[in-house]
Amino acid sequence: MTSNEQSTTSRAVLVTGASRGIGRAIALAFAAQGDRVAVHANTSREQAESVCAELPGEGHTVVTADVADPEAIGRAVDEAAATLGGLHVLVNNAAIFTAHPPQEVDYAQWQQAWERTLAVNLLGPANATFRALPHLIAAGGGAVVNVSSRGAFRGEPNTPAYGASKAGLNAFGQSMALALAPHGISVGTVAPGFVQTEMAREVLDGPGGDAVRAQSPYGRVARPEEVASAVLWLASPGARFSTGTIIDVNGASYLRS
């Protein structure tokens, strides 16, 4: 299948971390345009099944794996491709966000936070992408889209491993954009700020919520669907020549040059 054919034919799409929030919105967006979607989750298979049941169209599936486990995520990618009949798009969305202020945690907690965060947020996408390559090449090309964060640019003092992992993800995506273009595979990245999800609810509903919303001149945070729209475009054949791009979805709450 060529890139032009993909624009009018149902594609096979794997979205990691799709059992809720941004991942759920991304899965729904692809399914709404007729694509077949593999909804990935770690341990929350019941939630993933619920999302899968929401998806319009047919041919969707659920795969489970700890993204931090190289063998498990590799098997999940292969399972998704086998069930969907190939793979045209990989969306690396799964991530964790764990507070570990350097002045408040001990050395063991510090090491644990770094090891787990990098394993999920950076090594996970790297391994998923590696395992997806044979399937993407066999499909005649496709797209990898990584979900990063504005924290990669502005810094995250209370979650430094998170900021570092997302900065690494940005660099990984741009390296892969150079490496995979000859195979007809584009690699793009979306960098949201705060998004109205369950993960952010505690902050947004707390005493600091108004200050967070005020960071954007719109006076609000992003909706999951707005992040999904950017992912959808980066995965489209029309975005092929924008490979290596990082799209900010933060409502001008953080502007970089």
Q: Are 119 and 125 in contact (CB under 8 A)?
A: no
**Phi-psi group of 251: left, alpha or beta (phi > 0 → left; psi -120 to 50 → alpha; rest → beta):** left
Sheet of 61-64: strand order equals 61-64, 36-41, 12-15, 89-92, 142-147, 185-192, 246-249
Q: Element (H or E) spanning 118, and its range?
A: helix 107-118
CB within 8 A of 88, min separation 6: which ones? Answer: 1, 6, 11, 12, 13, 136, 139, 142, 143
Best CA proximity match to 100, nearest among 158, 165, 151, 155: 158
- Residues marked as catalytic: 162
Q: Are 148 and 106 in contact (CB under 8 A)?
A: no
Q: Are 42 and 64 in contact (CB under 8 A)?
A: yes
Q: Are 113 and 105 in contact (CB under 8 A)?
A: yes
